[in-house]
């Protein structure tokens, strides 16, 4: 029996007509601009009883319903919560939602266990490692996508570009067969439905898990230089990563790494295109790209909020929070805290940078993929600036509008440029 | 170039920049940072850092 040549099976959902993308849209929140609400709540104080979603028109989150929720707003208090992992833990906050979708991933771990596995994964995503992927993995994807529209002189940079490239980067890292990509993407979104109780969620998680188990067997039999081979064979203190932890991480990638980067890049392009002077400055001086990315993710961080569990009774800003409560940390409020970022709603790549924005959170669970995300966004922006001369918003189409209060994104970025 | 890097999150210490928000002035050598100092990005201890080629 040849393990190497066995085709990897990726099974579609039983119900072929089920559209997870539609359901996904609903769960991202409908409030167009959450910032006036966030500012108003912040002005009343940094801690409120209730969930972040309750500030808007709540979408039912059946696994979370009935839990004791508190919202934490503002930079200082959010930093305090996220840097105190003994008091504010992850497992209880995530095991019933994200943990059901992905399994035993780093997000649902705490303490020593988290630190041990986290270091192994982070090592595969350190800046000096991901820098190499810019050329080998990201550029080919970006070039192919842009090649399809540079002759047109007009494009929707979301539909034609940002909505695809971070996912295709992941497909390349997994060395996924191109014809499997649509089912893979569908399952990756469908698995999230576990958190709203849809049965297709568990079905998708199982099917992705079977697929990844097969992939691990394949890569262990014949390791290459790819990411999965590395993770499947890496040893720390003489031990390999357990399959359940590794498979859960791979399940999480599309969501944690694909969806976020698609949104982040869309926001970056929106910020620059709606501020043509800043776009021109970056086009002329590419050393401004890192600060443009930082500002875009501060201004419209794709992950507006996250959660922790109070492991003990604790008082925050004078509000007593009982043990067992869920603490909803609104990263979007830290990044628009007027005490840290003057005129916080303004997009300004030249603003003072002495306070670090928190779009990737902070503390032990800070984003593992932040260095990769920056490499991807840098490559994407450079390609846009190099290959779409005289780039500007299309005056005949609606301007990009960033919407949603959970994961924010513009639905379209209609542009014109000089065709190649 | 070699740099001290946090292995929990990938944050690199740049002596020229220091870590002013934690009272570490620009130009402070790595050896002179107190052991109580923590990674500004993830809160890991100074002992979590390693010298890496970047
Ligand atoms: C602009 C793009 C991205 C944004 C805004 C973002 C944001 C975040 C945030 C806010 C967290 C922390 C959540 C919490 O502590 O509750 C996080 C964690 C994480 N991110 Fe990202 N992320 C991005 C890209 C990526 C990429 C490209 C990857 C791919 C490797 C990735 C993988 C992860 C993982 C595995 C975690 C969990 C870390 C842990 O719990 O220890 N992210 N991300
Ligand atoms: Zn760190």
Question: Reduced to 3 DSSP states, what percent helix, strand and coil does chain B have, rounded to the nearest 5?
Answer: 15, 30, 55
pLDDT confidence tier of residue A105, bands split at 50, 70 and 90? very high
Whose Cα sits closest to atom 18 in ligand 1?
A367
What is the C-alpha to C-alpha distance for residues A127 and B25, in angstroms, rounded to an integer? 24
pTM over the 0.90 mark: yes
A165 inside domain: yes
Q: Which of A17-21, A125-129, A376-380 has the highest mean pLDDT?
A: A376-380
- On whether residue A384 sits in a domain, the answer given is yes
| Residues A288, A294, A297, A299, CA torsion sign | negative
Assigned domain for A15 exists:
no
**pLDDT tier at A59, thresholds 50, 70, 90:** low
Contact A289, A272 (CB under 8 A): no
Between A412 and A2, where is the model more confident?
A: A412
CATH label of the domain that carries residue A219: 1.10.630.10
Output DSSP code: residue A259. I
Q: What percent of chain A has pLDDT over 90?
A: 75
CA distance A173 to A224: 11
Describe the crossing of helices A370-387 and A289-299 by its angle, rounded to 10 degrees: 110
The alpha carbon of residue A355 is apart from the nearest alpha carbon of chain B, in Å, by: 8
Q: From chain A, pick out residues whose CB is under 8 angstroms from the CB of B44.
A: 364
- pLDDT tens digits for range A298-328: 999 999 999 999 999 999 999 999 999 999 9
Residue A43 placed within a domain: yes
How does the average pLDDT of chain A come out, rounded? 91
Q: Which two tokens stand for residue A371?
A: 């260095």
In the A/B pair of chains, how many CB contacts fall below 8 A?
45
Within 8 A of B25 by CB-CB distance, chain A residues are: none
Question: The domain containing residue A374 runs over which residues?
Answer: 20-416
All residues of chain B having their beta carbon less than 8 Å from the beta carbon of residue A123 are: 7
* Domains contained in chain A, number: 1
ipTM metric:
0.96
Q: What is the mean pLDDT of residues A3-28?
A: 73
Mutating to test ligand 1, I would choose from A52, A369, A374, A380 the residue with most ligand atoms within 8 A of its C-beta, which is A369
Average pLDDT value for residue range A163-189: 90
Rounded-to-integer distance, Cα A365 and Cα B40, Å: 13
Nearest of A129, A140, A166 to residue A267 by alpha carbon: A166
Which band of pLDDT confidence, cut at 50, 70 and 90, is reported for residue A141?
Answer: very high
pLDDT (average), residues A173-193:
88
Per-residue pLDDT tens over the stretch A393-403: 999 999 999 98
* Residue that has been written with the tokens 């002005």 in this structure: A43
Name the band, by pLDDT with cuts 50, 70 and 90, for residue A193.
confident
Is residue A13 assigned to a domain?
A: no
Confidence of residue A3 (pLDDT cuts 50, 70, 90): very low
Q: Is A55 within the bounds of a domain?
A: yes
Q: What is the mean pLDDT of residues A236-260?
A: 90
Q: Which helix (H) or strand (E) holds A89?
A: strand A88-89
> Beta A326-329 vs A306-310: how paired, if at all?
antiparallel
Q: Is position A133 within any domain?
A: yes
B43 touches A362 (CB < 8 A): yes
For residue A400, the distance in angstroms to the closest alpha carbon of chain B comes to 32
């Amino acid at each position: 029996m040849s393990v190497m040549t066995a085709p990897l099976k990726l099974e579609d959902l039983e119900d072929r007509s089920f559209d997870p993308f539609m359901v996904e849209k609903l769960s991202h929140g409908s409030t167009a601009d959450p910032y006036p609400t966030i500012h108003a709540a912040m002005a009343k104080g940094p801690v409120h009883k209730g969930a972040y979603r309750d500030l808007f028109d709540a979408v039912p989150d059946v696994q979370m319903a009935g839990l004791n929720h508190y919202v934490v707003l503002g930079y200082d208090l959010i930093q305090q919560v996220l840097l105190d992992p003994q008091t504010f833990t992850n497992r209880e906050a995530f095991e019933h939602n994200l943990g059901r979708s992905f399994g035993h991933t780093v997000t649902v771990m705490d303490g020593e266990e988290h630190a041990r596995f986290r270091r192994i994964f982070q090592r595969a995503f350190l800046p000096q490692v991901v820098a190499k992927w810019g050329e080998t993995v990201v550029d080919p994807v970006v070039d192919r996508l842009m090649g399809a529209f540079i002759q047109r002189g007009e494009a929707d940079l979301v539909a034609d570009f940002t909505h695809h490239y971070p996912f295709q980067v992941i497909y390349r890292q997994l060395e996924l067969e191109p014809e499997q990509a649509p089912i893979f993407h569908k399952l990756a979104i469908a698995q999230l439905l576990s958190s709203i109780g849809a049965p297709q969620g568990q079905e998708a998680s199982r099917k992705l898990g079977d697929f990844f188990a097969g992939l691990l067997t394949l890569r262990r039999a014949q390791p290459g230089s790819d990411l999965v081979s590395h993770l499947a064979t890496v040893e720390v203190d003489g031990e390999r990563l357990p399959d359940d932890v590794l498979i859960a991480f791979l399940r999480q990638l599309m969501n944690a790494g694909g969806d976020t980067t698609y949104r982040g890049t869309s926001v970056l392009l929106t910020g620059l295109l709606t501020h043509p002077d800043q776009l021109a400055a970056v086009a002329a001086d590419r050393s401004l790209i890192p600060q443009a990315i930082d500002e875009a993710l501060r201004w419209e961080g794709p992950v507006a909020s996250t959660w922790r569990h109070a492991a003990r009774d604790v008082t925050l800003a004078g509000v007593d929070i009982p043990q067992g409560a869920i603490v909803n940390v609104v990263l979007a409020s830290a990044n628009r805290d007027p005490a840290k970022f003057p005129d916080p709603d303004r997009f300004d790549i030249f603003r003072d940078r002495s306070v670090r924005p928190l779009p990737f959170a902070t503390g032990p669970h800070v984003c593992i993929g932040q260095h990769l995300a920056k490499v991807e966004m840098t490559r994407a922006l450079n390609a846009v600036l190099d290959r779409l001369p005289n780039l500007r918003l299309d005056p005949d189409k609606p301007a990009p509008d960033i919407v949603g209060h959970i994961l924010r994104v513009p639905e379209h970025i209609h542009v014109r440029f000089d065709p190649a | 170039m070699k740099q001290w890097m946090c292995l929990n999150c990938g944050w690199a210490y740049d002596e020229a920049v220091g870590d002013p928000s934690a009272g570490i002035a620009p130009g402070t050598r790595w050896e002179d940072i107190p052991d109580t100092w923590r990674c500004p990005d993830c809160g890991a201890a100074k002992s979590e850092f390693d010298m890496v080629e970047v």
